[in-house]
Amino acid sequence: MIALLPGELRTHFPRLMDDMHELRLSAVRARHERLSSPINRLTVVDYFDSLDPLYVLALDEAERVVGALRLLPTTGVTILNDALAAGLPDGVRVESPLIWEASRLTLRRPGDCPTQEPAMDRTIGELGVALNEIAKAAALTHLVAVYDDWTRRLLSLRGCAGTALAPPMRFDGVEVFAAVYEVGAAMDAQFRRLAGDAARQRINLAELVRLRGLQC
């Protein structure tokens, strides 16, 4: 199941936000397991979270967050343009109202999941289908995804790592990759295949508007 969470409403959904931060924390721990530096929640909340992104969360049957990412328009401040610009071709920003950035893609590691690989497939599939639906609703042409090497390998194995946009870059001591997804039927099919039955449930944009109406 997919939940859309507007960043500006994070305080209304403390449990989901906590779950997402826990997920990020476990990913950071797994990446830095040999490092001695302390890792706490501040490590997993960055400046880009303060820009009120749209969070896309994949939930399991128990409504635990098993996958998460955030979306920001490239016309504003993004990881790719503002933290990794030096690694972009010619150092020029990728900036268009029709291109959004998906970042902090985090997935529950197989060891934490009882059903392991099928659950991972489903989570990736659900997130991808939801991304395509959101992008279509916003009339976007492309999504630019920024992810780490572990995620890249996971996506590559499943044939859905997108098209590489730039050579590998380093961010916060980690090798990161930027890839392009073109919004449309091909992207949908790619992820729907992985999501299986879970893709039947459509994202609820009306609910998103209703939620955003809460903010004043």
Partner 1 sequence: MYREDVFDLIDQLARAERRPIRRSLLSEFLQATGVSQVAYVAFNLPRRRAARPLLSLAHAMSWRNSYAQAGRVDIAPVLRAGLGGIMPVDWRVLDRDDPIIRKLLGEALDLELGGDGVSIPLRGRKGEYALFSVCLHQGASFSMSARHDLMRRFMVMSAIFHAKMRDAFEARSDGGVRLSDRELTCLRLKSLAQSDEAIGRALGAGPAAARLWLESARARLNADTIDAALAQACRTGLIRVGAESPDAAAESMSVAGAPSIDRRAR
Which amino acid, one-letter code, is at 165?
L
Nearer to partner 1, 123 or 190 (CB): 190
Determine if 68 is a binding residue for partner 1 (CB under 8 A): no
How many CB atoms neighbour CB 73 within 10 A? 19
User: Residue 105 CB, nearest distance to partner 1 (Å)?
Assistant: 16
The CB-of-128 to partner 1 minimum distance in angstroms stands at 15
82 versus 117: smaller Cβ distance to partner 1: 82
Q: Does 194 bind partner 1 (CB under 8 A)?
A: no
DSSP string over 160-200: ---EE-SS-EEETTEEEEEEEEE-SHHHHHHHHHHHGGGGG
Binding of residue 50 to partner 1 (CB under 8 A): no
Q: How many CA atoms lie within 13 A of 75 on its CB side?
A: 4
What whole-number distance in Å separates Cα of residue 58 and Cα of residue 144?
19
Distances (CA, A) of 148 to 31, 107, 112, 136, 155: 10, 11, 19, 25, 11
Residue 168 interacts with partner 1 (CB under 8 A)?
yes
- Nearer to partner 1 (CB atom), residue 35 or residue 205: 205
Angle between helices 14-31 and 149-157 (to 10 degrees): 100
How many residues contact partner 1, by CB under 8 A?
59
Which residues between 171 and 190 bind partner 1 (CB under 8 A)? 177, 179-182
Residues forming contacts to partner 1 in the complex (CB under 8 A) are 6, 8, 51-54, 71-73, 75-77, 81-82, 88-90, 92-100, 134, 136-142, 144, 152, 156, 161, 163-168, 177, 179-182, 205-206, 208-210, 212-216
